[in-house]
Each structure stands twice: as C-alpha cells, then as structure tokens.
C-alpha cells in the first residue's frame, strides 16, 4: 500500500525550476489521494502562466516511479495561487502584483506591449487589470475598443469609487474615460501629482493577480510621481533595437534609482525587432538595427524577455480595438503568449526570492 508520506518524500526530490527549492518545502503539494496503485495530487503553481508546467508534471511522475513504485498510475492536477510580495496594501488593496511598462523614448510600443501583455496574461486564467497612466496621451481606451465609454461610480466602504470598464477579460481604467472626445488634459505641475494620486487610489479594482500600468513616455515629474505613488512589483522596459532608443531606455532605468524604494527591472521587451514579409517567410529585415534589447538587458542585469517583430496585424489590432494577442494561434499571438509567461515567471521568481529572504 502506497502512503502519503512516501509520496511527499518522492516529491521532495522535485525542484521548482525557477525557485530552486523542492515542491514540498515550498508548500506546493495539496490534496493527495491514494487508491491502491492510483495516486492523485494537486500542485499549486505561483502563476497560471507558468512556462514550466509540463516539466514539473513530468518530474513529479518520474519521482514517484523512481522512489515509490514504478507501476503507480499518477495524476497531477495543476492549480495556481499567484504569489505576491506586497506588504503595504494601503493603495490598491486586492492587487497582488503591479507591473509598469516603461520606456525612455516615445512611440516604441509601450501601450501595444501593455495591452497585449494584459490580454495574454488574462488568457492563462489570471485576473488582470490595465491602468493607462499616460494622462497626456492615453491610448488604452482605443486599443481595447472602449472609446467613448464611461466608468460608473459605486460606493465601496463608504467611499465613492470608479469601477473600471472591462473588455477581453481585462479591467481597464484610463483618464480617457473621464474626458470628452475633443477635450485635452490641461493638468499642470503640482496639480498633476495630486490628480494622479487620486486617480490611482479612487479606482476599485477588486481582486487582481496582475495590474499592468501603461506609463507615459519619458522621464519627467509625472513618472516620478507615478513610481512613488504606485507600489510597483517591478517594471518591464520596452525598447526598439537601435542605439538612440537604447540610450533613452537607459535613462528610464536610471530614473528608477532616483526614488527611495527599489523597483526591480523584471526584464526587457525589444519591440519592432525585424520585419518579415508574408511572401518571404525566411527573410528578416532589421529595419531598426539590431542588438538594442540584449544590450539593455545586460545593462539592467535582467533578462531579454522577448523580441516582437513588426507585424501589420499588431498595428491594426491597436487601431481597431481588437489587440493582436486575442489571436493566440497566430505567430504574433504566440510571441505575446510567451512574453506573458516570461513576465509572470520573473514576478514569481522575484516573489520567491523576497519570501525566502524575509
């Protein structure tokens, strides 16, 4: 008769590949059921976007065959409970991880990366919000097909809060929802700081696994306010491959060290990496040069998460309010899926490191 103790002993030889500790010490095994040679249990992952699910499952089965009984019939169920290392929940309570998408230079594709990241993460089953923090040039209302709509107010704990709009499984909040179509934002100087703080704290997001923040371009006061007001888990830096973009992106990273709290760089997304015409699928044209993403990743000592080529469908997706990541089986859909996994993986590693050191 197989015992629970034997199963746990076998699983203590299975490592979580990112956290470099075994599944039993990490408290990831639940609900073990044994019936003669049938063994069933649940592995609780730190993110539904875990890119190593299959490896973990294969390793579990192999360990039970090796250490318990090679004839055991093993069924591994996978669920997730997204990890978090937030201590102060005064701002944005209920949000487990907050990831800002930043860049130095404008127009490199932050908003496109942010919207597609949010959708690709939501497709894994994670609960996702997207905050468009680009108060001067908000784009997420358009990218999510929510132009012209308005959030409604609800009483939450005696306070009037804005309820985000929702599309494609993502809760979206943008200053664009509060403006009339032809109205520009005229907030200036100190007003911007207080307006932004209010904007961030007056939204009722509910429970979210990841809140993605689409940042404005550049490295000014607005950025410092945003970085200080929002308790960020980390940032994703977007760059294009050429040298000028790289220099600006380095400025954006340097800005992170100007505030007292340490904000980790989760990784770099190189956007517009190359162009491949449909009729010449083996050709890669390096329109904006090459190597910028890797250089920036080396500069930040963080990984190059992904390279996103130029695709007309990505641009059209943004313009028509139907983001490209929704078409998960296309080549670009797959790239966005892999980008989401890479971001979730870095968040999980970071949370694991913080948990182990505290």
Ligand X SMILES: Nc1ncnc2c1ncn2[C@@H]1O[C@H](COP(=O)(O)OP(=O)(O)OP(=O)(O)O)[C@@H](O)[C@H]1O
Site residues (CB under 5 A) for Mg ion, limited to 128-147 = 139
Q: Which is nearer to ligand X, 208 or 272 (CB)?
A: 272
Please identify which residue in 17, 93, 107, 331 interacts with ligand X, judged by CB under 6 A. Answer: 107
Please identify which residue in 271, 302, 341, 345 interacts with ligand X, judged by CB under 6 A. Answer: 271
Q: Which helix (H) or strand (E) holds 57?
A: helix 53-67
Cα 225 to the center of its chain, rounded Å: 21
For the CB of residue 345, give the shortest distance to ligand X in the complex, in Å: 21
Q: Does 104 bind ligand X (CB under 6 A)?
A: no
Please identify which residue in 47, 80, 112, 242 interacts with ligand X, judged by CB under 6 A. Answer: 112
Taking the alpha carbons at both ends of the chain, their separation in whole angstroms is 40
Handedness of CA 202, 205, 209, 212 (dihedral sign): negative
Provide the token pair at 15.
Answer: 């490592």
Q: Does 108 bind ligand X (CB under 6 A)?
A: yes
Using CA atoms, how far apart are residues 74 and 62, in angstroms rounded to an integer? 9
Q: Does 271 bind Mg ion (CB under 5 A)?
A: no
Site residues (CB under 6 A) for ligand X, limited to 301-330 = 308, 310-311, 314-315, 318
Q: Residues 192-231: x/- map of binding to ligand X (CB under 6 A)?
A: -------------------------x--------------
Q: Which is nearer to ligand X, 205 or 332 (CB)?
A: 332
For the CB of residue 98, give the shortest distance to Mg ion in the complex, in Å: 18
Q: Does 293 bind ligand X (CB under 6 A)?
A: no
Question: Helix or strand or coil: residue 270?
Answer: strand
Q: What angle do CA 316, 319, 324 make, to 5 degrees?
A: 50
Q: Find the part of the chain contacting Mg ion (CB under 5 A) among 71-79, 106-114, 162-170, 242-250.
A: 106-114
Using CA atoms, how far apart are residues 330 and 207, in angstroms rounded to an integer? 30
Neighbour tally for 173: CB within 10 Å: 26
Report the partner that residue 314 touches, choosing among ligand X, Mg ion, none (CB closer than 5 to 8 A by kind): ligand X
Q: Which is nearer to ligand X, 28 or 335 (CB)?
A: 335
Handedness of CA 248, 340, 100, 234 (dihedral sign): negative
Using CA atoms, how far apart are residues 169 and 231, in angstroms rounded to an integer? 23
Angle between helices 189-201 and 221-229 (to 10 degrees): 30
Q: Find the part of the chain contacting ligand X (CB under 6 A) among 34-42, 69-77, 104-112, 164-172.
A: 104-112
C-alpha closest to that of 53 among 84, 79, 74: 79
Q: Does 111 bind Mg ion (CB under 5 A)?
A: yes
Please identify which residue in 47, 80, 83, 111 interacts with ligand X, judged by CB under 6 A. Answer: 111
Using CA atoms, how far apart are residues 81 and 5, in angstroms rounded to an integer? 24
Total residues contacting Mg ion by CB under 5 A comes to 3
Site residues (CB under 5 A) for Mg ion, limited to 161-180 = none
Which residues have a Cβ under 8 Å from the Cβ of 89 and sit 6 or more positions away?
none
Residues forming contacts to Mg ion in the complex (CB under 5 A) are 110-111, 139
Residues forming contacts to ligand X in the complex (CB under 6 A) are 103, 106-112, 134, 137, 139, 217, 271-272, 308, 310-311, 314-315, 318
């Amino acid at each position: 008769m197989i015992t629970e103790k034997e199963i746990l002993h076998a699983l203590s030889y299975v490592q979580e590949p990112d956290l470099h500790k075994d599944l039993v010490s990490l408290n990831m095994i639940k609900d073990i059921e044994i019936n003669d040679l049938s063994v069933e249990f649940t592995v609780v992952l730190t993110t539904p976007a875990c890119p190593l699910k299959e490896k973990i499952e294969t390793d579990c089965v192999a360990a039970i065959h090796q250490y318990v009984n090679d004839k055991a019939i093993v069924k591994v169920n996978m669920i997730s409970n997204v990890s978090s290392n937030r201590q102060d929940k005064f701002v944005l309570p209920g949000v487990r991880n907050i990831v800002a998408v930043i860049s130095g230079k404008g127009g490199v594709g932050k908003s496109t990366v942010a919207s597609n990241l949010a959708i690709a993460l939501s497709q894994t089953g994670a609960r996702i919000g997207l905050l468009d923090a680009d108060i001067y040039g908000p784009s997420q209302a358009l990218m999510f097909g929510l132009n012209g709509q308005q959030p409604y107010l609800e009483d939450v704990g005696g306070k009037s809060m804005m309820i985000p709009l929702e599309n494609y499984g993502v809760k979206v909040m943008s200053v664009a929802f509060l403006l009339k179509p032809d109205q520009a934002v005229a907030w200036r100087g100190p007003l911007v700081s207080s307006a932004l703080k209010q904007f961030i704290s007056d939204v009722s997001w509910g429970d979210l696994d990841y809140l993605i923040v689409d940042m404005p371009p550049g490295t000014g006061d607005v950025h410092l306010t945003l970085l200080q007001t929002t308790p960020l888990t980390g940032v994703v830096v977007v760059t294009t491959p050429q040298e000028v973009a790289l220099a600006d992106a380095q400025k954006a990273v340097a800005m992170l060290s100007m505030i007292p709290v340490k904000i980790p760089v989760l990784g770099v997304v190189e956007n517009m990496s190359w162009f491949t015409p449909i009729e010449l699928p083996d050709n890669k044209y390096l329109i904006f040069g090459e190597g910028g993403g890797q250089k920036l990743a080396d500069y930040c000592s963080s990984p190059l998460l992904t390279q996103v080529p130029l695709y007309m469908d990505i641009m059209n997706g943004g313009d028509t309010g139907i983001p490209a990541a929704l078409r998960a089986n296309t080549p670009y859909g797959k790239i966005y899926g892999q980008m989401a996994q890479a971001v979730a993986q870095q968040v999980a590693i970071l949370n694991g490191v913080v948990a182990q050191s505290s």
